[in-house]
Amino acid sequence: MNAKVDAVLKPVETGVGPVQAMIAVFSRDVRVAFRQRQDLLNPLLFFVMVVTLFPLGVSPEVEFLRQSGAGILWVAALLSVLLSLDHLFRHDFDDGTLEQLVLQPQPLFLLVLAKTLAHWMLTGLPLVLLTPILGIMVHLEGNSIAILCLTLLIGTPVLSLIGAIGAALTLGLRSAGVLLSLLIIPLYIPVLIFGTGTVAAASEGAPVAGYLALMGAFLVLALTLAPFASAAALRISMSNS
């Protein structure tokens, strides 16, 4: 084990409990991400560019943008999260850190959950914070922007959790980005439908509690099952590499 990997795994190997190990992995991923600012900024720049270029390529009419603005922002957020998923495990796989994490006595699914939460905080949460500004650009009303931010706050963790499964399955493969997109985008469709449907219902004055409850159910289901599936996929990928 090289010095870099040893420094990374020292907090995990010292006999601490699972929660402390999760905190160590989470904080380590955050620190590494801020050292690799290009990977951190690319999804955010992509998100902004897609939303700002859409009116130029389709239609700048206010009424059209108001009707389609939620869909534009949701699709842009989905693609931005997808763009960042290839780096979720890739750097750790390349430097040997991931192999050592798999061998740790702590449950692998908890360490994967910590990495996924770090990914969401660095990618999904900034998208949510940028949404009000971009929502104004596409002429969404204040209530619609608030509901859109709430749906993204619930939905982007689901995107990261589901995406972690695909990132783990395609780890070490050639053309992993293309395979990852083919695997994950169909699983993103229900989240996209309910996310945009919630904003559409809010703009028409209809109740949105049912939509939000379904999105909350998606989040609970993803938090419960996705880390186990990602951990199993990582073990399969590591055994085949």
Q: Which domain holds residue 110?
A: 3-240
d(CA 48, CA 212): 25
- The pLDDT of residue 48: 93
Total structural domains in the chain? 1
pLDDT, position 39: 76
**Structure confidence at residue 35 (pLDDT):** 83
55 within 8 A of 138, measured Cβ to Cβ: yes
pLDDT for position 179: 82
pLDDT score of 10: 52
What integer pLDDT is reported at residue 241 of this predicted model?
Answer: 62
Name the nearest CA neighbour of 167 among 87, 235, 222.
Answer: 87
Q: What is the pLDDT of residue 56?
A: 84
pLDDT at 103: 83
Q: Which tokens belong to 27?
A: 């904080």
Task: Render 16-83 in DSSP notation, one character per residue.
Answer: --HHHHHHHHHHHHHHHHHHSHHHHHHHHHHHHHHHHHHHHHS---HHHHHHHHHHHHHHHHHHHHHH
DSSP3 helix / strand / coil % (the chain, rounded to 5) = 85, 0, 15
Which pLDDT belongs to residue 4? Answer: 46
The pLDDT of residue 177 = 72
For the full predicted model, state whether its pTM sits above 0.75: yes
Chunked mean pLDDT (size 10), the chain, 241 residues: 47 66 90 82 91 84 87 94 87 82 87 94 94 91 92 96 92 77 91 93 89 94 95 85 62
